[in-house]
């Protein structure tokens, strides 16, 4: 009954085109994590696809071993509007102010952001008189960006679009690509696009959760079908070099998305790399991020975590406790579906994003309701699926806690607070 195409198995590395990535963790067959279910579609079965990760023994890139076409994943209903995270908005504004100062940006500069979403970052440049161009393939966020004064092209970025922009007379002083590189089907075209569009003295700033933090904190729930790749600095270094770019700095943001790295690159030879590049590469090699064994060990840790969490929730339920969850994010869907947690254990999920309320988590089929419902129904326990925002959530839910509510944080190992 489903019109979904089948997943295709990866036969060679997405970055270096070398041998098939070697699998180290299977999370079973799960629904697409961001595809929330509408109330009128509850009778249909959510299609499921294999979710397995492998490691390239040639260039060290961690990647899914099965993939779906991009247009299956980013449909018009894609529910993520980034401005809803206060922390992310503050981080982005700081980033913009830093770039304007360090790159001497002015009214003759151009800042291009790939996957600019609802314009939350570029808006900070616009407000300071710096010309910008957003590139955002999803119509909802693109329209929201234009509404706040951020010119936005509704397209996917790659070498072709970069050539077209250059033909229109555009070259970028700064290209920003935050939390997008993991979603890109053709990684080499994407980075080649940077190289084409960048001015000779320009910089590319890429942010993405690092695979080192994913391993160190057992953040297996950040693995989902939309994330084709999981980057180490070692893998990014190889990718950039292939396209005439080179890393010039690496900065770590431990609090962002569970551990984000910002990699800045310039044309090879155009700038002297900061010591942070060599330091980071050495640290990652010391952590084992260039060898298969470290990843196989991570696979074992994930299976243990899942077992502990399932046991904890099943025991609480058996004692007659009520349990709800916080955060209808993709990572929540991965955690619930790969661990076998559904509506028989949890009653509902709260989320402050109005675009998600009224829908259901895929697979687990939990209704998504506004945060106010927490105080109305006062469940005994709240499983914090968006553990990266746990401090913010616990602070916001002081009243829930004051009435006896307890928080369960599942990652890096299940704890009750
Ligand atoms: Zn490779």
Q: What percent of the chain has pLDDT over 90?
A: 78
Non-local CB neighbours of 320 within 8 Å, separated by 6+ positions: none
Q: What is the pLDDT of residue 189?
A: 97
Q: What is the pLDDT of residue 1?
A: 40
pLDDT band at 76 (very low <50, low <70, confident <90, very high): very low
Q: What is the pLDDT of residue 34?
A: 82
2 or 105: which leads in pLDDT:
105
* 78 pLDDT above the threshold of 60: no
Report how far ligand 1's centroid is from the alpha carbon of 160 (Å): 23
How many residues are listed for the chain in this entry? Answer: 417
* 83 pLDDT above the threshold of 70: no
Report how far ligand 1's centroid is from the alpha carbon of 168 (Å): 34
Distance CA 370, CA 296 (A): 39
Report how far ligand 1's centroid is from the alpha carbon of 115 (Å): 24
Question: Which residues are close to ligand 1, an ion, with C-beta < 5 A?
Answer: 13, 15-16, 18, 56, 58-59, 61
Report how far ligand 1's centroid is from the alpha carbon of 114 (Å): 24
Report how far ligand 1's centroid is from the alpha carbon of 33 (Å): 26
pLDDT digits over 30-75, tens only? 988 888 899 888 888 888 899 999 999 999 999 999 987 666 665 5
Q: What is the pLDDT of residue 71?
A: 63
Contact 2, 47 (CB under 8 A): yes
5 or 348: which leads in pLDDT:
348
Report how far ligand 1's centroid is from the alpha carbon of 243 (Å): 15
Report how far ligand 1's centroid is from the alpha carbon of 64 (Å): 12
Report how far ligand 1's centroid is from the alpha carbon of 80 (Å): 30
Report how far ligand 1's centroid is from the alpha carbon of 274 (Å): 25
Report how far ligand 1's centroid is from the alpha carbon of 100 (Å): 35
Q: Which long-range contacts (CB under 8 A, 24 or more apart) does 318-323 make?
A: 321/380, 321/381, 322/347, 322/377, 322/379, 322/380, 322/381, 323/347, 323/379, 323/380, 323/381, 323/382, 323/383, 323/408
Report how far ligand 1's centroid is from the alpha carbon of 123 (Å): 36
* 81 pLDDT above the threshold of 80: no
Report how far ligand 1's centroid is from the alpha carbon of 214 (Å): 19
Q: What is the pLDDT of residue 73?
A: 62
Report how far ligand 1's centroid is from the alpha carbon of 235 (Å): 8
Q: What is the pLDDT of residue 84?
A: 57
Report how far ligand 1's centroid is from the alpha carbon of 90 (Å): 35
Q: What is the pLDDT of residue 89?
A: 81
* 3 pLDDT above the threshold of 60: no
* 22 pLDDT above the threshold of 90: yes
pLDDT band at 410 (very low <50, low <70, confident <90, very high): very high
Q: What's the whole-number average pLDDT of the chain?
A: 92
185 or 340: which leads in pLDDT:
340
pLDDT band at 206 (very low <50, low <70, confident <90, very high): very high
pLDDT digits over 109-122, tens only? 999 999 999 998 99
pLDDT band at 77 (very low <50, low <70, confident <90, very high): very low
Report how far ligand 1's centroid is from the alpha carbon of 159 (Å): 20
**pTM for the whole structure:** 0.89
Report how far ligand 1's centroid is from the alpha carbon of 383 (Å): 37
Report how far ligand 1's centroid is from the alpha carbon of 166 (Å): 30
Distance CA 292, CA 274 (A): 29
Residue 7 phi, psi dihedral angles, 5° rounding = -70, 145
Report how far ligand 1's centroid is from the alpha carbon of 147 (Å): 41
pLDDT digits over 254-303, tens only? 888 778 999 999 999 999 999 999 999 999 999 999 999 999 999 999 99
Of 70, 49, 63, give the one whose Cα is nearest residue 20: 63
Residue by residue, DSSP assigns 96-148 as HHHHHHHTT--TT--EEEET-TTSTTHHHHHTTT--EEEE---HHHHHHHHHT
Report how far ligand 1's centroid is from the alpha carbon of 216 (Å): 22
Report how far ligand 1's centroid is from the alpha carbon of 62 (Å): 8
Residue 74 phi, psi dihedral angles, 5° rounding = -95, 75
Report how far ligand 1's centroid is from the alpha carbon of 290 (Å): 11
Residue in this structure with the two tokens 């090699």, named with its chain if needed: 285
Task: Return the CATH number of the domain spanning residue range 294-416.
Answer: 3.40.50.720
Report how far ligand 1's centroid is from the alpha carbon of 208 (Å): 18
Q: What is the pLDDT of residue 5?
A: 62
Report how far ligand 1's centroid is from the alpha carbon of 55 (Å): 8
Distance CA 285, CA 234 (A): 8
Report how far ligand 1's centroid is from the alpha carbon of 233 (Å): 13
Distance CA 392, CA 317 (A): 27
Report how far ligand 1's centroid is from the alpha carbon of 173 (Å): 29
Report how far ligand 1's centroid is from the alpha carbon of 13 (Å): 5
Report how far ligand 1's centroid is from the alpha carbon of 272 (Å): 26
Q: What is the pLDDT of residue 32?
A: 87
374, 376, 379, 385 alpha-carbon torsion, rounded to 10°: -10
- Residue 181 tokens read as 């590189």
Domain range list for the chain: 294-416
Report how far ligand 1's centroid is from the alpha carbon of 293 (Å): 16
């Amino acid at each position: 009954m489903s019109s979904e195409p089948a997943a295709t198995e990866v036969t060679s590395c997405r970055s270096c085109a070398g041998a098939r990535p070697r699998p180290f963790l299977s999370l079973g067959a799960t629904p697409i994590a961001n595809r929330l279910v509408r109330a009128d579609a509850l009778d249909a079965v959510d299609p499921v696809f294999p979710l397995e990760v492998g490691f390239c023994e040639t260039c060290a890139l961690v990647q899914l071993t099965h993939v779906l076409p991009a247009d299956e994943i980013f449909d018009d209903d894609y529910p993520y509007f980034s401005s809803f995270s206060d922390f992310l908005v503050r981080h982005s504004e700081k980033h913009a102010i830093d770039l304007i100062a360090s790159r001497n940006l002015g009214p003759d500069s151009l800042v291009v952001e790939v996957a600019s979403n609802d314009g939350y970052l570029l808006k900070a440049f616009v407000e300071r008189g710096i010309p910008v161009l957003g590139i955002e393939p999803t119509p909802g966020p693109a329209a929201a960006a234009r509404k706040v004064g951020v010119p936005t092209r509704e397209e996917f970025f790659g070498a072709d679009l970069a050539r077209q922009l250059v033909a229109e007379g555009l070259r970028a002083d700064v290209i920003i690509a935050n939390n997008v590189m993991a979603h890109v089907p053709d990684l080499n075209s994407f980075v080649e696009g940077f190289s084409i569009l960048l001015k000779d003295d320009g910089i590319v700033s890429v942010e993405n959760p690092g695979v080192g933090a994913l391993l160190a904190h057992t953040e297996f729930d950040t693995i989902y079908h939309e994330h084709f790749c999981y980057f180490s600095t070692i893998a990014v270094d190889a990718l950039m070099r292939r396209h005439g770019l080179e890393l010039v700095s690496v900065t770590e943001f431990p609090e962002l998305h569970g551990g984000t790295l910002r990699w800045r690159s310039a044309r090879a030879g155009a700038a002297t790399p900061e010591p942070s590049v060599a330091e980071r590469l050495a640290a990652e090699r010391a952590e084992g991020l260039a060898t298969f064994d470290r990843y196989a060990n991570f696979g074992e840790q994930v299976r243990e975590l899942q077992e502990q969490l399932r046991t904890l929730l099943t025991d609480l339920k058996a004692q007659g406790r009520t349990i709800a969850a916080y955060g209808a994010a993709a990572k929540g869907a991965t955690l619930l579906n790969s661990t076998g947690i559904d509506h028989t254990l949890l009653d509902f999920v709260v989320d402050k994003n109005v675009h998600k309320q009224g829908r259901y988590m895929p697979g687990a089929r939990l209704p998504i309701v506004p945060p106010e419902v927490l105080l109305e129904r006062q469940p005994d326990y709240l499983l914090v699926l968006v553990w990266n925002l746990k401090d913010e959530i616990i602070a916001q839910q002081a009243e829930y806690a004051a009435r006896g509510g307890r928080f369960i944080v599942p990652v890096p190992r299940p704890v009750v607070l």
